[in-house]
Amino acid sequence: MSPPAASAPADGRNLRRDRNRDAVVSALLDLYRDGNLAPSAEQIAAQAGISARSLFRYFDDVDDMVRTAIGRQQEHLAPLYAVDASPDQPLHERVERFVAARVRLIEGMGEVGRVARSLATRQPLILAELARIRGTLRRQLAGLFAPELDALAADERAATLAAADVVASWESFDLMRYDQGLGRDDAAAAMHSALLRLLGPVGH
């Protein structure tokens, strides 16, 4: 049996590999957040503090690197999914708390959300992850506003939930901010107003 000390070099190499792999993922996310949505291998390596030649010692290819970075981003976002509200609270209070939480989450997604959507058409794993996230957020909305939705006829309920889901989506907020030129607070207020009109009493 080999003495324990014999594993030290291998352990050191593994630790260095893990450290460099983490540095590459962090570098890629930082570049995305800075607005560089298609960084070169040289830019990623420079940001990570390693040589460009060694970059792909740690990943199978660019797609593997991007998938890993988006997975890391999802781990960081996990605490932002929570909404401090319950279905028994008044509608206006639930909408206010929901919008505040949803905007924080969308802003946390930031440019990484844009990258994920641009890659989803050619990366099935990212497409599936986006579908999972959308499903989670839709169920959250349906649960929080169940009293209002359950009071509707089945077809109207489905249509109202679909519309509310779109209003509260990353895509909708992004359009309000960057296509329509609304500021953060104005975009949040528009989401708030639209949800109240969709979920409130007729004539609200």
Q: What DSSP assignment string belongs to 126-160?
A: HHHHHHHHHHHHHHHHHHHTHHHHHTS-HHHHHHH
3-state secondary structure at position 135: helix
Dist. CA 166–CA 181, nearest whole Å:
19
Q: Which two tokens stand for residue 111?
A: 């440019």
Q: Tell me the residue type at 177.
A: R
Per-residue pLDDT tens listing for the chain (204 residues): 555 555 555 576 778 888 888 999 889 888 887 878 788 889 999 998 988 888 888 888 888 888 888 788 778 888 999 999 999 999 999 999 999 999 999 998 888 888 888 878 877 878 888 899 999 999 999 999 999 999 999 999 999 999 999 999 999 999 999 999 999 999 999 999 999 999 998 534
Tell me the CA distances in angstroms from 169 to 2, 140, 196, one per residue in order: 57, 12, 15
Q: What is the pLDDT of residue 203?
A: 39
Neighbouring residues of 109: CB distance < 8 A, sequence distance ≥ 6: 73, 77, 170
Domains of the chain: 10-59 (1.10.10), 75-199 (1.10.357)
CA 75 to chain centre: 9
